[in-house]
Amino acid sequence: MRYSAAHWFVLAASMVVFVVSGCGERPHTPPVGEPVSEVAPKETELPPPDEKRGHEPADVVWNTYHGGFSLRGVADTALPETLEPAWRFMAGAPVFTTPVAGDGRIYFANTKGRLFAVDAQGDEIWSRTLPREARHEWSPTEQEFDAPLTFYDGVLLAGSADGIVFALDAASGEVLWETDIDGAIMGIVNVVPAGAGNDAEAGARVYVIEQSYGILHCLDFQTGEMLWQSEPVDRCDGSPGVGDGVAVFGSCAAALHIFSSNTGDRLHDVALGGDSEVAGGVAVVDGAAYAGSRSGKLVKADVRDGTIVWANTDCDDEAFSTPAVSDEWVVFGCAGGTVHALDRDTGQTRWTFGARGTVASPVIAGDKVVASANGVLFLLALDDGRELWSYDVSDEITAPAVVGRMVLTGSSDGTVAAFR
């Protein structure tokens, strides 16, 4: 099954992006009756079941589609220069958001709204759908999850297209609570852990953006109780990064918006200018926010005073992927088919790699970069961008998740593939 260019744009940001007024396009939805559940994976040389590999310690965590809650996209691991297929799980429909992991399990959702938990060998632990009220005869009767999932402290958080935040017990799939924010959710449901942020005594908090008006909602992690909601900014299709006492996200107003994660006060708006709408996630690292934009501009902004520290304009197409930010590097993908690696302090380009297709949100893993583009998974050398290894996974794949020494990706052929 082939999908439109608009659907590939979805994968570039590793999340569904519904945008109007020039901020993006609605992805293709298969017409009623199209057999999305019958897609089959590409034929690959996979190990037989009794030789499956992929075991990782239970304490290895990949909280969001881009790692931790700051969305910095860095994995503390050492990958070899080549990987091998470990297993492939049939999900029954395309998987268009990056898997997450925690407590020895891997979690993901397919386009039919089914949530899955599998073990590190790719064996199913549980799966379920969540019912919704049908609005007409062709209306889905199950919740749909276009936003990537989030894992924290034994709980799986999922934001539905109907605007409901679900908290599920990650071990069993049982719903612990649900909260309706009265608007579609396209970005992740993010978390500030207990004791972090401005209020050291606060319990864990949940942050989610209502898409149409860009309203940031703060919920209690334990109960789902609404603690506060911010004033609206503009349509927001990306994900908020959190850290340093702030929550930061971009919008169709061609700006970054910086809010106090404790009070919800709107601290700064960082205007990016021109056609620099932001539809990807924002990485928040050491007092700075990093984000790409429709114009291809990648910026570093100071979250304390709302000023732009530097801007890189070497990408000549949309940069809606979430940048990976390490101590020295910023690596991001460009829709023009290139991976760009920048000096974190200056924003100057150190190298560029031609990936031959729109690049999803890359990950820095030790001395390597893991990236995906046009259905191909890549390993690159971080120091100079050399291609070390690549693998043709499917027609279209998500941004990678790095769980210990295992790399995971969802795909349009209805599978989740693991590599070791």
The CATH code of the domain that includes 84 is 2.130.10.10
Instruction: Tell me the whole-structure pTM to 2 decimals.
Output: 0.89
State residue 55's pLDDT score. Answer: 59
The two structure tokens encoding residue 75: 């994995």
- Residue 240 included in any domain: yes
Residuewise pLDDT in 10s, the chain (420 residues): 333 333 433 444 443 333 334 474 433 333 222 333 334 444 444 444 334 444 566 678 999 999 999 999 999 999 999 999 999 999 999 999 999 999 999 999 999 999 999 999 999 999 999 999 777 767 788 999 999 999 999 999 999 999 999 999 999 999 999 999 999 999 999 999 988 866 667 799 999 999 999 999 999 999 999 999 999 999 999 999 999 999 999 999 999 999 999 999 999 999 999 899 999 999 999 999 999 999 999 999 999 999 999 999 999 999 999 999 999 999 999 999 999 999 999 999 999 999 989 999 999 999 999 999 999 999 999 999 999 999 999 999 999 999 999 999 999 999 999 999
State residue 25's pLDDT score. Answer: 40
pLDDT digits (tens, 9 = 90+) for 60-96: 899 999 999 999 999 999 999 999 999 999 999 999 9
Residue 402's nearest CA partner among 127, 52, 72 is 72
The structural domain count of the chain equals: 1
Q: How far is CA 336 from the centre of its chain?
A: 20
H or E segment at 118?
Answer: strand 115-119
- Residue 40 included in any domain: no
- Residue 38 included in any domain: no
Tokens 């970005």 correspond to 187
pLDDT digits (tens, 9 = 90+) for 319-373: 999 999 999 999 999 999 999 999 999 999 999 999 989 999 999 999 999 999 9
How many H helices and E strands in the chain?
A: 1, 33
H or E segment at 10?
Answer: helix 5-12
CA atoms lying within 13 Å on the CB side of residue 193: 8
The 3-class SS string of 142-209 reads: ECCCCCCCEEECCEEEEECCCCEEEEEECCCCCEEEEEECCCCCCCCCEEECCCCCCCCCCCCEEEEE
- Residue 94 included in any domain: yes
- Residue 41 included in any domain: no
CA-based torsion, 187, 189, 192, 198: positive or negative: positive
- Residue 63 included in any domain: yes
- Residue 42 included in any domain: no
- Residue 43 included in any domain: no
Cα distance between residue 284 and residue 267, in whole Å: 15
Task: Please list the residues that pair with 112 across neighbouring strands.
Answer: none
**Which residues are within 8 A (CB) of 346 and not within 5 positions of it... i.e. 6 or more apart?**
310
Cα distance between residue 382 and residue 402, in whole Å: 15
Q: Domain of 149?
A: 5-30+58-419
Cα distance between residue 61 and residue 67, in whole Å: 8
Residue 20's nearest CA partner among 258, 260, 267, 252 is 252
